[in-house]
Amino acid sequence: MNKKELSTNAAGNVSLGGEISVHRLGFGAMRLTGEGIWGPPKDRKGALAVLRRAVELGINFIDTADSYGPYISEELIAEALFPYPAGLVIATKGGWNRPGPNQWAHDATPSHLRKAVEGSLKRLRLDRIDVYQLHIPDPVVSFEASVETLAQLRNEGKIRLVGLSNVAQEHIERAHKIVPIVSVQNRYSFADREWDYVVAYCERNAIAFIPWFPLGAGRVAGEVLCRIPQAYRASPTQVALAWLLQRSPIMLPIPGTSSIEHLEQNVAAASIRLSKEEYEELSGVPELVGSR
Ligand SMILES: NC(=O)c1ccc[n+]([C@@H]2O[C@H](COP(=O)([O-])OP(=O)(O)OC[C@H]3O[C@@H](n4cnc5c(N)ncnc54)[C@H](OP(=O)(O)O)[C@@H]3O)[C@@H](O)[C@H]2O)c1
């Protein structure tokens, strides 16, 4: 890949609620924290450099959450990038806490979400969060109560746009009765297609779909991924990202990395166009997995 191709411009744009347009390849800031998404990174300077390089390469959508670290990911973003360049969108989340390494605890109660938004505003040094996502529905809290809280915070000017994460179509429809939903963030890749129908729903309703864990997993996926890249002198990761970008114009991948080298590889994937046959071969991987 030459320097000319090293920009997210090649991915095109996606609209968030008809209000903000961002390049269709973002950055996931979860991996900048310590091991187990817990505590500070081993290489703090390196983490700050990755964030700055991401913006230099044209990335203008950064995904984070209060629970990454906890708090560390948001603090690093502010330290690296504040005052933020015009057009940079930081999408954070709340409602799923990190009480220890590799542990999760639900809390999407209205009182917690209010506190969480205030905390994110402070750490990110913002007056208003461009995109605030409910991290996951809380099984013991009314989903409507969680979403209504985000709608109120939006009316108060603390949130600009509301997104959801780890949801089914039914949640999006219920939430949409309360507040416009601009993005949905679920686990998704060429080899992991549980949420295909949600991607289709988002496409019909002009909602951005943000796939997390976008690189695919498993032996069959790995075999196909290792064969296709040879034609492009690309890495398997780049091919997995290229598939996502071709899957739908509302797709907004946010590959996460703590390495500048990997970041540059991921951005270069925006310039890869898979042939129809390659795209379809990758699309068929879930069936291959199922038949073995
Ligand atoms: N909503 C949710 O519930 C949820 C859950 C998980 C994640 N997320 C978001 O989604 C983002 C992405 O998800 P993810 O981090 O789980 O998965 P991912 O982006 O699919 O994978 C990240 C892993 O892949 C490695 N990697 C990245 N680029 C690479 C490259 N070019 N070559 C080789 N290895 C590479 C990274 O290691 P190195 O650091 O060594 O590059 C890291 O271990 C997160 O940062 C977070 O913002 C959301």
- Counting every residue written for the chain, the total comes to 292
Averaged pLDDT for residues 125-133:
98
User: Is the Cβ atom of 155 under 6 angstroms away from ligand 1?
Assistant: no
- DSSP structure class, residue 32: G
Do the beta carbons of residue 121 and residue 158 sit within 8 Å?
A: yes
pLDDT in the model for residue 3: 47
CA–CA separation, 258 vs 44, rounded Å? 10
Closest C-alpha residue for ligand 1 atom 42: 257
Averaged pLDDT for residues 19-31:
97
Q: Which residues of 102-123 are buried (b: 16+ CB within 10 A; e: fewer)?
A: eeeebbbbbebbbebbebbbeb
User: Is the Cβ atom of 66 under 6 angstroms away from ligand 1?
Assistant: no
Quick check: is 232 catalytic? no
Using alpha carbons, list the distances in angstroms from residue 249 to 5, 133, 182, 200.
20, 21, 14, 11
pTM of the model: 0.96
Tokens linked to 57:
């390469």
191 Cβ contact list (under 8 Å, min separation 6) = 216, 217, 218, 220, 221, 285, 286, 289
User: Is the Cβ atom of 206 under 6 angstroms away from ligand 1?
Assistant: no
User: Is the Cβ atom of 214 under 6 angstroms away from ligand 1?
Assistant: yes
Please identify, by atom number, the ligand 1 atom nearest to the C-alpha of residue 255: 19
Please identify, by atom number, the ligand 1 atom nearest to the C-alpha of residue 64: 47
pLDDT tens column, 248-288? 999 999 999 999 999 999 999 999 999 999 999 999 988 77
Closest C-alpha residue for ligand 1 atom 41: 257
CA–CA separation, 211 vs 230, rounded Å? 25
Q: Three-class SS of residue 211?
A: strand
pLDDT in the model for residue 4: 47
Q: What stretch of H or E contains 106? A: strand 105-106
pLDDT tens column, 101-110? 989 999 999 9
pLDDT in the model for residue 216: 62
**In this predicted model, which residue has the larger pLDDT, 22 or 227?**
22
Averaged pLDDT for residues 108-120:
98
DSSP, residue by residue, 160-208: EEEEEES--HHHHHHHHTTS-EEEEEEE-BTTB-TTHHHHHHHHHTT-E
pLDDT in the model for residue 107: 98
